[in-house]
Amino acid sequence: MAVFYTVDRSGSLSEGLTIDLYNENESFVYNCNIGGCSKPFSLSGLSSHGWYNYRNHSTQSGQYEFNLECIRRVFYPNKPSRLQSMFAWGHFNHAVNFIHQKNYFPESGVFYIFEFEATNFHKGDMSFCSPQYQGLMDSRFKQYWAGDFDLSSQSEHQYEFLIPLPIAIRRLVLIYHKFEIKNFISCE
Protein backbone atom coordinates (compact mmCIF):
# COMPACT_ATOMS: atom_id res chain seq x y z
CA MET A 1 0.00 0.00 0.00
CA ALA A 2 1.22 3.47 -0.87
CA VAL A 3 0.57 6.50 1.35
CA PHE A 4 -1.05 9.62 -0.15
CA TYR A 5 -2.01 13.09 1.03
CA THR A 6 -5.06 15.08 -0.02
CA VAL A 7 -5.82 18.76 0.50
CA ASP A 8 -9.29 19.44 1.91
CA ARG A 9 -10.42 23.00 1.17
CA SER A 10 -14.06 22.45 2.09
CA GLY A 11 -13.51 21.10 5.59
CA SER A 12 -15.72 18.11 4.77
CA LEU A 13 -13.23 15.30 5.47
CA SER A 14 -12.52 13.64 8.81
CA GLU A 15 -10.46 10.78 10.18
CA GLY A 16 -12.06 7.39 9.49
CA LEU A 17 -14.42 8.79 6.83
CA THR A 18 -14.94 6.62 3.74
CA ILE A 19 -15.27 8.70 0.59
CA ASP A 20 -17.44 7.13 -2.06
CA LEU A 21 -19.04 8.11 -5.35
CA TYR A 22 -22.02 10.46 -5.46
CA ASN A 23 -25.16 9.00 -7.00
CA GLU A 24 -23.47 5.63 -7.51
CA ASN A 25 -26.60 4.07 -9.00
CA GLU A 26 -27.17 6.88 -11.49
CA SER A 27 -25.65 6.96 -14.97
CA PHE A 28 -24.00 10.17 -16.16
CA VAL A 29 -23.89 10.32 -19.96
CA TYR A 30 -21.59 12.51 -22.04
CA ASN A 31 -20.43 12.60 -25.67
CA CYS A 32 -16.82 12.25 -26.76
CA ASN A 33 -15.79 13.92 -29.99
CA ILE A 34 -12.39 12.58 -31.03
CA GLY A 35 -11.13 12.66 -34.59
CA GLY A 36 -14.50 13.78 -35.94
CA CYS A 37 -16.21 10.77 -34.39
CA SER A 38 -18.83 11.27 -31.68
CA LYS A 39 -19.39 8.46 -29.20
CA PRO A 40 -21.55 8.50 -26.05
CA PHE A 41 -20.07 7.25 -22.77
CA SER A 42 -21.53 6.93 -19.33
CA LEU A 43 -20.18 6.74 -15.80
CA SER A 44 -21.96 5.21 -12.83
CA GLY A 45 -21.46 7.66 -10.00
CA LEU A 46 -19.07 10.60 -9.73
CA SER A 47 -16.50 11.93 -7.27
CA SER A 48 -16.99 15.44 -5.88
CA HIS A 49 -14.57 16.67 -8.60
CA GLY A 50 -16.55 14.80 -11.26
CA TRP A 51 -19.89 16.01 -9.93
CA TYR A 52 -18.71 19.64 -10.01
CA ASN A 53 -17.51 19.33 -13.62
CA TYR A 54 -20.58 17.39 -14.74
CA ARG A 55 -22.85 20.16 -13.42
CA ASN A 56 -20.60 22.80 -15.04
CA HIS A 57 -19.83 20.90 -18.25
CA SER A 58 -20.48 23.95 -20.41
CA THR A 59 -17.70 25.95 -18.70
CA GLN A 60 -14.11 25.84 -19.94
CA SER A 61 -13.05 23.84 -16.89
CA GLY A 62 -15.83 21.30 -17.38
CA GLN A 63 -15.13 20.87 -21.10
CA TYR A 64 -11.46 20.46 -20.32
CA GLU A 65 -12.16 17.64 -17.85
CA PHE A 66 -14.52 15.89 -20.25
CA ASN A 67 -11.86 16.07 -23.01
CA LEU A 68 -9.40 14.42 -20.61
CA GLU A 69 -12.02 11.79 -19.82
CA CYS A 70 -12.68 11.10 -23.51
CA ILE A 71 -8.98 10.53 -24.20
CA ARG A 72 -8.83 8.18 -21.21
CA ARG A 73 -11.91 6.22 -22.29
CA VAL A 74 -10.70 5.77 -25.88
CA PHE A 75 -6.95 5.19 -25.39
CA TYR A 76 -6.44 4.27 -21.70
CA PRO A 77 -9.67 2.60 -20.53
CA ASN A 78 -7.93 0.78 -17.65
CA LYS A 79 -6.77 4.03 -16.01
CA PRO A 80 -8.96 5.46 -13.22
CA SER A 81 -11.33 8.23 -14.26
CA ARG A 82 -10.58 11.75 -12.99
CA LEU A 83 -14.35 12.09 -12.60
CA GLN A 84 -14.50 9.13 -10.20
CA SER A 85 -11.26 9.62 -8.25
CA MET A 86 -9.74 11.41 -5.29
CA PHE A 87 -6.81 13.70 -6.17
CA ALA A 88 -3.76 13.34 -3.99
CA TRP A 89 -0.05 13.92 -3.60
CA GLY A 90 2.62 11.28 -3.07
CA HIS A 91 4.52 13.38 -0.51
CA PHE A 92 3.31 15.53 2.35
CA ASN A 93 5.50 18.48 1.23
CA HIS A 94 3.91 18.41 -2.24
CA ALA A 95 0.47 18.86 -0.67
CA VAL A 96 1.75 21.87 1.30
CA ASN A 97 3.39 23.31 -1.84
CA PHE A 98 0.09 22.93 -3.70
CA ILE A 99 -1.61 25.14 -1.10
CA HIS A 100 1.05 27.84 -1.58
CA GLN A 101 1.03 27.68 -5.39
CA LYS A 102 -2.72 27.73 -5.92
CA ASN A 103 -3.30 30.39 -3.24
CA TYR A 104 -7.07 29.96 -3.38
CA PHE A 105 -8.00 29.77 0.22
CA PRO A 106 -11.57 29.06 1.19
CA GLU A 107 -13.49 31.77 3.01
CA SER A 108 -12.42 30.29 6.34
CA GLY A 109 -8.74 30.60 5.35
CA VAL A 110 -8.14 27.03 6.52
CA PHE A 111 -6.86 23.96 4.67
CA TYR A 112 -6.61 20.46 6.06
CA ILE A 113 -4.26 17.77 4.83
CA PHE A 114 -5.33 14.17 5.34
CA GLU A 115 -3.46 10.93 4.81
CA PHE A 116 -4.80 7.70 3.33
CA GLU A 117 -3.50 4.53 1.68
CA ALA A 118 -4.25 2.94 -1.68
CA THR A 119 -2.92 0.29 -4.04
CA ASN A 120 -4.63 1.35 -7.28
CA PHE A 121 -3.69 4.78 -8.67
CA HIS A 122 -2.55 6.78 -11.70
CA LYS A 123 0.45 9.12 -11.52
CA GLY A 124 0.16 12.00 -13.99
CA ASP A 125 2.32 15.05 -14.74
CA MET A 126 0.06 18.07 -14.21
CA SER A 127 1.99 20.15 -16.76
CA PHE A 128 0.36 18.09 -19.54
CA CYS A 129 -3.01 19.36 -18.34
CA SER A 130 -2.24 23.08 -18.62
CA PRO A 131 -4.84 25.08 -20.59
CA GLN A 132 -2.03 27.07 -22.24
CA TYR A 133 -1.61 24.18 -24.72
CA GLN A 134 -5.17 24.38 -26.07
CA GLY A 135 -4.22 23.36 -29.64
CA LEU A 136 -2.17 20.36 -28.45
CA MET A 137 -4.65 19.01 -25.93
CA ASP A 138 -5.19 15.57 -27.46
CA SER A 139 -1.48 14.73 -27.69
CA ARG A 140 -0.69 16.23 -24.27
CA PHE A 141 -3.64 14.46 -22.67
CA LYS A 142 -2.41 11.15 -24.13
CA GLN A 143 0.99 11.81 -22.54
CA TYR A 144 -0.71 12.54 -19.21
CA TRP A 145 -2.56 9.22 -19.33
CA ALA A 146 0.54 7.34 -20.51
CA GLY A 147 2.34 8.48 -17.34
CA ASP A 148 5.01 10.41 -19.28
CA PHE A 149 6.64 13.50 -17.82
CA ASP A 150 7.01 16.80 -19.65
CA LEU A 151 10.65 17.26 -20.69
CA SER A 152 9.92 20.76 -22.01
CA SER A 153 8.56 22.03 -18.69
CA GLN A 154 10.72 24.71 -17.10
CA SER A 155 9.18 24.21 -13.69
CA GLU A 156 9.54 21.32 -11.29
CA HIS A 157 7.31 18.41 -12.27
CA GLN A 158 4.14 18.17 -10.27
CA TYR A 159 2.71 14.71 -10.21
CA GLU A 160 -0.86 14.29 -9.13
CA PHE A 161 -2.21 10.93 -8.16
CA LEU A 162 -5.71 9.76 -9.03
CA ILE A 163 -7.08 7.19 -6.63
CA PRO A 164 -10.40 5.57 -7.59
CA LEU A 165 -13.11 5.74 -4.95
CA PRO A 166 -13.97 4.49 -2.43
CA ILE A 167 -11.09 5.37 -0.12
CA ALA A 168 -10.89 5.60 3.68
CA ILE A 169 -9.28 8.65 5.27
CA ARG A 170 -6.71 7.44 7.76
CA ARG A 171 -5.71 10.54 9.69
CA LEU A 172 -5.45 14.32 9.76
CA VAL A 173 -1.80 15.35 9.43
CA LEU A 174 -1.95 19.16 9.19
CA ILE A 175 -4.21 22.14 9.73
CA TYR A 176 -2.97 25.13 7.74
CA HIS A 177 -4.38 28.58 8.45
CA LYS A 178 -3.83 31.39 5.94
CA PHE A 179 -3.67 34.15 8.53
CA GLU A 180 -1.45 32.41 11.07
CA ILE A 181 0.97 30.45 8.94
CA LYS A 182 3.36 30.01 11.86
CA ASN A 183 0.69 28.01 13.67
CA PHE A 184 0.97 24.71 11.85
CA ILE A 185 -0.83 22.13 13.92
CA SER A 186 0.66 18.75 13.14
CA CYS A 187 -1.17 15.67 14.27
CA GLU A 188 1.68 13.27 13.53
Structural domain range at position 23: 2-186
Full-model pTM: 0.83
Residue 169 confidence (pLDDT) above 90: yes
pLDDT band at residue 185 under the 50/70/90 scheme: very low
Angle formed by the axes of helices 137-146 and 60-75, nearest 10°: 60
Number of domains observed in the structure of the chain: 1
Q: pLDDT (tens digit, 9 = 90+) per residue, 102-147? A: 666 667 778 889 999 999 999 998 888 776 666 667 788 899 999 9
The vertex-130 CA angle with 178 and 159, nearest 5°, equals 65
| pLDDT of res. 35 | 66
- DSSP state, 89? B
State how far the Cα of 131 lies from the Cα of 127, in Å rounded to an integer: 9
Asked if pLDDT for residue 159 goes beyond 50, the answer is yes
Q: Is 141 helix (H, G, I), strand (E, B) or coil?
A: helix
| pLDDT tens, position by position, 73-104 | 889 999 999 999 999 999 998 888 888 776 66
CA 46/CA 53 separation, integer angstroms: 10
